[in-house]
Amino acid sequence: MSTQQEATIHRILLLTVWREEAENWRFLVEDPRSGRRKGFAGVVALVEGLLELVVGEEQTSAPEDKQDI
């Protein structure tokens, strides 16, 4: 795959956000293509999870080797 093609790789994720209590937000990230889902109990956990996903993809060279969430 060329460098230009690698730069255009993208992922679509569905983010669901809801509040369980006055100050407790919950987040659910879903890959609509694979159906895999992962929940997070706060904003910090959500951002850390998304960073892990992005960094993991940057370290993978071939798109077919990428892991879904």
pLDDT digits (tens, 9 = 90+) for 11-64: 899 999 999 888 889 999 999 999 999 999 999 999 999 999 888 776 764 555
Neighbour count for residue 34 (Cβ, 10 Å): 10
The order of strands in the sheet holding 24-30 is 14-21, 24-30, 37-40
* Residue found by looking up tokens 């077919």 in the block: 64
Q: Which two structure tokens, joined as six digits, stand for 46?
A: 């959500």
Q: Which two structure tokens, joined as six digits, stand for 5?
A: 């093609």
pLDDT at 1 over 90: no
pLDDT at 5 over 70: no
Domain range list for the chain: 3-65
Question: Is the model more confident about 6 or about 50?
Answer: 50
Give residue 43's identity as a one-letter amino acid code.
Answer: V
Would you say how long the chain is, in residues?
Answer: 69
